[in-house]
Amino acid sequence: MDKINVIALQQEMLEKMAQHSTIAANPLSTPNVNVPSSSSVAKVTESSAIDNSLHFGQALKGVLDTVNTYQQHASERVTAVELGHSDDLLGATIASQKAGLSFNALMQVRNKMVSNFESIIKMPI
């Protein structure tokens, strides 16, 4: 997957997360939300369900790869400064902060997903 696709997937995921957080904050004030009827839900084929899971899986993998790349890049720059191969302390510090920030954002998304999953598990049938 090339870098443009990863960035596009990240942007798409962030936009969807923003939409979902807005809906979650004010569920009654969103008139554009379309709730599918039970008959249309029953018509969902397995192929479309598989496609949706692949899109989510690809987006998640792209985000994880990006965070990993930031971590590796920061580690390389800090190691170069520590060994004296580079005098770009500011660049190493910025790369380290960028990696830390992206990891913290990833952990917040993970925690939100886990809490949502737990609330779904606790729902009565």
More confident site: 51 or 72: 72
Phi, psi (5° rounding) for residue 36?
-70, 150
Inform me whether the pLDDT recorded for 32 exceeds 60: no
* Domain locations in the chain as residue ranges: 3-13+41-121
Q: What is the C-alpha R_g of the chain?
A: 20
For the residues 33-55, what does the mean pLDDT come to?
A: 52
Q: What is the per-residue pLDDT for 11?
A: 78
Nearest alpha carbon to residue 14 among 111, 104, 106, 103: 106
The pLDDT value recorded for residue 84 is 92
In the predicted structure, residue 70 carries a pLDDT above the cut 50: yes
Residue 24 has pLDDT above 80, yes or no: no
pLDDT score at 52: 60
Question: How is residue 4 written in tokens?
Answer: 């443009």
pTM for the structure as a whole: 0.55
